Chains A and B, each alone.
Chain A
Amino acid sequence: MTIWIIDDDFIFVKIFAAQIQKIGLEVKISTFKNGKLAWDSLDKVCGSQDSSTMPDLLFLDLNMPVFNGWEFLERCKEKWETEDNSILKKLKLYVVSSSQDSQDIARAKAFEFVSAFFTKPLNIDAVRMILEKG
């Protein structure tokens, strides 16, 4: 299983990785420290039409430099809506933010491909559940 963690907080990424390790599943983790880097990679994956390179799960932070989480989501949405056969339709994405703002939560959930909104910290059981669900 391949997962992408898009977050500029390297400590959070480390904790997240440690939690996954604890669960003991075999997971390949790629990390991106801002939305722009993640988007560039995702765009490349979409361009290649090779669905095997498509990550199984994406964990996206909101507050990041360069492209924040919202900008990343907007770009995904644009591609999702304009390209019918895109492998992007397989996209499964969780927003993980320290925000508890109900406006942020509603806004995130309005994106079709956003499966859920988690407020940090992610506890280990939640991580296990998400990964097992696939």
Chain B
Amino acid sequence: MYNLFRLILTMVSAISDRIPLYLKNSNNYYVVVIDHAGNYSYVNACFARRYSWITENFIGTHFSNSVHPEDHEKCGKASLEAIENPGQPVSVRIRKPEKKEDEAPEKYTISDWEFSALFDEKSELLGILCVGTDITELARERDKGSAVLSALPDLIIILDRKLVFKEYFSTNFESGLYTSPENFLGKTVSEVMPEHIAKLAETSVERALASGVYVHTEYFLPDENGNPHYFELRCVKINNHEVMMIIRDITYTKLAKEEVTSAQETLYKLSLLAPGIFYTYKFKPEDVSEFLYVSPSISQMIQIHAKDVLNDAKIAFDTIYEEDLHYFTEQMMNSYKTLSPFQVEYRLAYDLNRHMNVTAVPEREKDGSVIWYGFITETTEQKRQLKEMKRTTDLVAMQNKRLLEFTYIVSHNLRSHAANLKGISDLLSEPTNESELQSYHEMLNSSVENLMTTLEHLNMIVKIQGETNLAVQKINLYDSINSTMESLQIMINSIGVEIDNRVPENFTIYFIFAYMESILLNLISNAIKYREPSRKLKITISAENVADGVWLYVADNGQGIDLERVGERMFGMYQVFHDHPESRGLGLFLCRNHMESVGGRIEVDSTPGQGATFKLFFPSGQ
């Protein structure tokens, strides 16, 4: 018993003596010796530690306790091979059991070993020296890598410096080479690829090797059926001798991209033709407010650039006139809530005479935002034409009304003269004496004279009404007033009128010259006729420019007009409100006619007893 123990001890110490100290003490390598019976006769500290969960003391236990059952045979074979070839280590990969935790499925670690036969001085076999290291993590990394490579749709090949295909990773041979591995492995690029593509690949490989950076290029190669295919070729340097080439079919992406580009181009061309601005605008309160697309025609229409609008939506909204922006925003918010299209008209902030019309259709996005597809057109010209048309119809309607009024008055006036003549004729048919005859004769005379006067008036009015083609011209208002004053000079001097012409000397308006004279003459002579005798008559004439025309004011300090009593009739024909010998009821009627013939108007303000102010409006843009 003692001797046996000694023998073992001697053997163990003999084995131990033959193992270098750095292996015994290694923290990375397992070192064990298996005897001829397959039992452990030595384990180093690294191994003992790692597998202490199997046994506290491996010496004398069988190796199978720490090896995967399927690998037992592999171990036996390797041991024999090692004995047969002394001095030649035999490599073997062995799975080892892993400590079980709970109900987890059985797990193994993977380790790489080298088996060598260990002899004593007498060339007696001491056992098999096994040196191993755990490669579980490495193997896992490798598996992961190959899984990634095989999952990629690309063809991945490794080439050497001489452009020979050495290795491939994925099975997608259709990608770019249209051939199977036996037709390209071991061959050069130029033997496998069409000439121009081979050139491209060569350059890429060379550049990748030289620069060490990723090289990317694209090529076109139809398949055997003639279908167009686009490929992307990438090269990455692995080391100084090898390059990884990755070839991917990008036909779908390429065609989709081309389609998008062509659709964009079509949209671009159409948007240039369309008399307006197309846009898409994305909005979410307190979150997004941006234009996704604005047609380039925006720069011609409203002097801002599409790229600026895409950068900052506010630039577009700033072109909307402030007063209209409120309504615009209201409609847009309503459209945001109800998802119904909206349509708004607005004016440009920098030019209020320009009118724009926007129509937009909303679409709700997944993130809660809304995208509007909109179109903006300019409606200035339409608006102007509408306005012009309305002005024309208004004028026609007014002239028609005036004509009716005119016929009514004409018939009334003429009839009163006719009635008088009939009355006189009736009287003449009765028996008459000399003095009666004399008197009837005078009446007849007067009646005919009055008829003549009325006919003259009517003639004059018809003439004025008919003069629709009088030219509108530039008139110096200041000069016109002065010349009217000159023609009334005798009257003005005789009663002492103070006329204050406050119109600036160079003030001009566009109007009909003859009408201007007639209006001023009427208004000034009216002021003189209806002056307040108890005070000196003062007439103040002034003018001002407003946005859409010119106002001319003729103010006096005369008797004034009871507007409540007179009202609208004031400018009617043959309407006389004073017992004045020269009142015929035509002056203001003509004034109103003149003003309305150019789309203008005449109004009056008055306080009875204090004076009146006639206000004449001359519209601009005639």
Q: Is B439's CB within 8 Å of the partner chain A?
A: yes
Those of B354-377 within 8 Å (CB) of chain A: none
Q: 6 A-B pairs, CB-CB below 8 angstroms?
A: A11-B424, A19-B426, A19-B427, A63-B574, A65-B578, A123-B426
Distance of A40 from chain B, by nearest CB (Å): 12
Q: A11-B420, A100-B415 are in contact. Are A65 and B577 (CB under 8 A)?
A: yes
Identify the stretch in B17-25, B301-309, B443-451 within 8 Å (CB) of chain A at 4 or more residues.
Answer: B443-451
Whether A12 lies near B440 (C-beta < 8 A) is no
Whether B423 lies near A121 (C-beta < 8 A) is yes
Q: Cβ of B436: which chain A residues have Cβ within 8 Å of it?
A: 18
Whether A12 lies near B423 (C-beta < 8 A) is yes
Whether B447 lies near A11 (C-beta < 8 A) is yes
Distance of A89 from chain B, by nearest CB (Å): 26
Whether A66 lies near B579 (C-beta < 8 A) is yes
Q: Cβ of B423: which chain A residues have Cβ within 8 Å of it?
A: 12, 15-16, 19, 120-122
The B interface, classified by DSSP as helix, strand, loop or mixed, is helix
Q: Is B419's CB within 8 Å of the partner chain A?
A: yes
Q: What CA separation (Å) do A89 and B362 show in the bound complex?
A: 76
Q: What CA separation (Å) do A120 and B443 show in the bound complex?
A: 16
Whether B426 lies near A121 (C-beta < 8 A) is yes
Q: What CA separation (Å) do A63 and B583 show in the bound complex?
A: 14
Whether B450 lies near A11 (C-beta < 8 A) is yes
Whether B426 lies near A11 (C-beta < 8 A) is no
Those of B428-444 within 8 Å (CB) of chain A: 430, 436, 439-440, 443
Whether B420 lies near A36 (C-beta < 8 A) is no
Q: What CA separation (Å) do A119 and B415 show in the bound complex?
A: 10
Q: Cβ of B578: which chain A residues have Cβ within 8 Å of it?
A: 65-66
Q: Is A101's CB within 8 Å of the partner chain B?
A: yes
B-contact 0/1 string along A11-45, CB 8 Å cutoff: 11011101100100000000001101100000000
Q: Cβ of B411: which chain A residues have Cβ within 8 Å of it?
A: 100
Q: How large is the interface on B (under 10, 10 to 19, 20 to 34, 35 or more residues)?
A: 20 to 34
In the complex, residue of chain B having the shortest beta-carbon distance to the beta carbon of A62: B412
Partner of A124, one of B426, B565, B580: B426
Whether B420 lies near A121 (C-beta < 8 A) is yes
Q: Cβ of A65: which chain B residues have Cβ within 8 Å of it?
A: 576-580, 583, 585
Q: Cβ of A121: which chain B residues have Cβ within 8 Å of it?
A: 418-420, 422-423, 426
B-contact 0/1 string along A91-134, CB 8 Å cutoff: 00000001111000000000000000001111110000000000
Q: What CA separation (Å) do A65 and B530 show in the bound complex?
A: 14
Those of A58-72 within 8 Å (CB) of chain B: 63-66, 71
Whether B412 lies near A63 (C-beta < 8 A) is yes
Q: What CA separation (Å) do A120 and B440 show in the bound complex?
A: 18
Q: Cβ of A34: which chain B residues have Cβ within 8 Å of it?
A: 579
Whether B415 lies near A120 (C-beta < 8 A) is yes
Q: Is A83's CB within 8 Å of the partner chain B?
A: no
Q: A22-B430, A100-B415 are in contact. Are A11 and B446 (CB under 8 A)?
A: yes
Q: How large is the interface on A (under 10, 10 to 19, 20 to 34, 35 or more residues)?
A: 20 to 34
Q: A34-B579, A101-B408 are in contact. Are A12 and B427 (CB under 8 A)?
A: no
Q: Cβ of A19: which chain B residues have Cβ within 8 Å of it?
A: 423, 426-427
With A15-B424, A15-B427 already in contact, 11 other A-B pairs whose C-beta atoms are closer than 8 Å: A11-B424, A63-B574, A64-B576, A98-B413, A101-B408, A119-B419, A120-B423, A121-B423, A121-B426, A123-B426, A124-B430
Q: Cβ of B583: which chain A residues have Cβ within 8 Å of it?
A: 65
Q: What CA separation (Å) do A63 and B411 show in the bound complex?
A: 13
In the complex, residue of chain B having the shortest beta-carbon distance to the beta carbon of A34: B579
Distance of A78 from chain B, by nearest CB (Å): 14
Distance of B561 from chain A, by nearest CB (Å): 13
Partner of B416, one of A9, A16, A33: A9
Q: Cβ of B415: which chain A residues have Cβ within 8 Å of it?
A: 98, 100, 120
Partner of B443, one of A11, A66, A122: A11
Q: What CA separation (Å) do A93 and B577 show in the bound complex?
A: 23
Q: What CA separation (Å) do A101 and B409 show in the bound complex?
A: 11
Distance of A62 from chain B, by nearest CB (Å): 9
Q: What CA separation (Å) do A9 and B488 show in the bound complex?
A: 30
Distance of B96 from chain A, by nearest CB (Å): 123
Distance of A7 from chain B, by nearest CB (Å): 10
Q: What CA separation (Å) do A68 and B578 show in the bound complex?
A: 11
Those of B554-583 within 8 Å (CB) of chain A: 565, 574, 576-580, 583
